[in-house]
């Protein structure tokens, strides 16, 4: 088992940030009795809870391993991928729930997302540098298809919602697109992409900032207004009112 170096400071910051986010979301969800509204709180709380646990694993060295690529020994935080494979589908579920997406759309998004993360894991553990880049490209391609569905199908379904719900959806969707496009950039420029423009210290810091923004920031925006979430869960009432 490898031992984290100076970058561990960012992992402890991530652990603290995710933990504070979890406690905040639990507080926001107290008193919510509507089962449909509770889905938002449950998913969002699990997102930061899982992330906090994985960041703790990385900070303590358990979530870290080494991969030999040519004459380089790369430190790979496998717990980061374990985080993403659980939390990114939940983020998409939150967004799909807000948009009132049907099951086929949700299944498509989650399927693309899991494929993206799994191929990213293959890239991270591949021992041939050229194949690492190949699998990174496949994973990034899956991300682009996922974002295409997000901007197309999911956004079309969100337009049927009330103005405030549609506006919140657009804000969260745009935030997700911006942040998720940065992940493969950090990966390819960092140590895992073998290019090493970003050393491990700054690569870890960059991923931590992206994770906190994509999870805690996303959750704060999503859960800040119960009235908007209530409108999102009562489409029939909205439609009747506007008829």
CA distance 110 to 243: 34
| 236 has pLDDT over 60 | no
The answer to whether the CB of 223 falls within 8 A of the CB of 24 is: no
Q: Select from 51, 60, 1 the least CA-distant residue to 21.
A: 51
Quote the pLDDT of residue 24. Answer: 97
Closest to 203 measured CA to CA, from 1, 67, 4: 4
Report whether pLDDT(3) > 80. Answer: no
The CA distance from 102 to 107, in Å, is 9
User: In the chain, what are the domains?
Assistant: 7-232 (1.20.1070.10)
Convert the pLDDT of each residue in 14-38 to its tens digit. Answer: 999 999 999 999 999 998 999 999 9
Q: What are the residues whose beta carbons fall under 8 Å from the beta carbon of 73, sequence distance 6 or more? A: 66, 67
236 contacts 108 by C-beta, under 8 angstroms: no
Mean of the per-residue pLDDT values for the chain? Answer: 93
Number of other CB atoms surrounding residue 159 within 10 Å: 10
Helix (H, G, I), strand (E, B) or coil at 172: helix
Alpha-carbon distances of 173 from 121, 221, 238, rounded to whole Å: 25, 11, 22
Model's pTM, two decimal places? 0.93
């Amino acid at each position: 088992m490898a031992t984290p170096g100076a970058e561990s400071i960012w992992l402890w910051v991530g652990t603290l940030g995710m933990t504070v986010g979890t406690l905040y979301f639990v507080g926001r969800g107290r008193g919510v009795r509507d089962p449909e509204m509770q889905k938002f709180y449950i998913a969002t709380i699990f997102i930061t809870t899982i992330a906090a646990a994985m960041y703790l694993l990385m900070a303590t060295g358990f979530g870290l391993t080494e991969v030999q690529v040519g004459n380089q020994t790369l430190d790979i935080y496998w717990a980061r991928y374990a985080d993403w494979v659980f939390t990114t589908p939940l983020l998409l579920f939150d967004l799909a729930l807000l948009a009132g997406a049907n099951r086929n759309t949700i299944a498509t998004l989650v399927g693309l997302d899991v494929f993206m993360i799994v191929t990213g894991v293959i890239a991270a553990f591949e021992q041939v540098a050229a194949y690492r880049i190949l699998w990174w490209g496949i994973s990034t391609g899956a991300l682009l298809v996922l974002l295409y569905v997000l901007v197309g199908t999911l956004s079309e379904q969100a337009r049927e919602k009330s103005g405030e719900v549609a506006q919140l959806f657009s804000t969260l969707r745009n935030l997700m697109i911006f942040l998720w496009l940065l992940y493969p950039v950090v990966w390819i420029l960092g140590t895992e992409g073998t290019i090493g423009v970003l050393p491990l210290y700054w690569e870890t810091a960059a991923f931590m900032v992206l994770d906190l923004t994509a999870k805690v920031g996303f959750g704060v925006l999503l859960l800040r207004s119960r009235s908007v979430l209530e409108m999102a869960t009562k489409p029939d009432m909205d439609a009747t009112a506007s008829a």
